[in-house]
Amino acid sequence: MKKVYGSATEALDGVLHDGMLIAAGGFGLCGIPELLIDGIVASGVKDLTVASNNAGVDGFGLGKLLETRQIKKMMSSYVGENAEFMRQYLSGELELEFNPQGTLAERMRAGGAGIPGFYTKTGVGTQIAEGKDVKQFNGEDYIMEEGIFADLSIVKAWKADDTGNLIFRKTARNFNPPAAMCGRICIAEVEEIVPRGQLDPDCIHLPGIYVHRLIQGEHEKRIEQRTVRKREEA
């Protein structure tokens, strides 16, 4: 089965449709599938629901899809770096489903494992718990969260082989593996594709069984908040 495609446009061909649920990997601006996001922008698909830890920044990452009004709803944990996100939400133009960060990651992982729901203490007694099933275990309350089963997953990895085995680097592992797992179709963009057999099996973070399509490309790798230590006085 062919997995390697020449561009984001080719890899997304026949996959996108209006109203779909997309799980997007990345943590801040680290490990975001920027090439695939650009391809979705160019496609013009609309009324999207996107499950992602955050929504990029203005003019970059998922922020591009917000600017073009292609996203109808975000399922997110941290959205504090995107002014357009805030503007659309406060004006009622964008639906938002807030998730505690660990809960969102587990909802994606659960979907990838075929688990429709699970109970967690996170959010008990808060607005997060409103309308959700509450069950007691060992005398303590837990709320049920549903697994996320996305129509499409888009993720960014460091290296892959041509069968789709993926290696992530550092912070890019935070959300990319569970996001990749929960998609009925998963497309990954990587910095390097190597022949099968060249990756150490012990270093593979996500097996190729989860990955359906691959692209290789150049990435901008922006820094979301540049923080440096002040130079010490001589």
Residue 61 token pair: 């990452």
**114 and 141 Cβ atoms separated by less than 8 Å:** no
The pLDDT of residue 234 is 56
The pLDDT of residue 28 is 84
CB within 8 A of 211, min separation 6: which ones?
A: 3, 160, 164, 165, 166, 180, 186, 187, 188
The pLDDT of residue 162 is 95
Which band of pLDDT confidence, cut at 50, 70 and 90, is reported for residue 231?
A: confident
The pLDDT of residue 35 is 96
Over the range 60-88, which residues count as b (16 or more CB within 10 Å of their CB) and which as e?
bbbbbbbeeebbeebbbbbbebbebbeeb
151 three-class SS: strand
Q: pLDDT digits over 48-99, tens only?
A: 999 999 998 888 999 999 999 999 999 999 887 788 999 999 999 999 999 9
> Bridge-partner residues for 194, per DSSP?
161
Q: pLDDT digits over 171-180, tens only?
A: 999 999 999 9
Q: For the residues 134-152, what does the mean pLDDT come to?
A: 97
**11 and 215 Cβ atoms separated by less than 8 Å:** yes
The pLDDT of residue 79 is 80
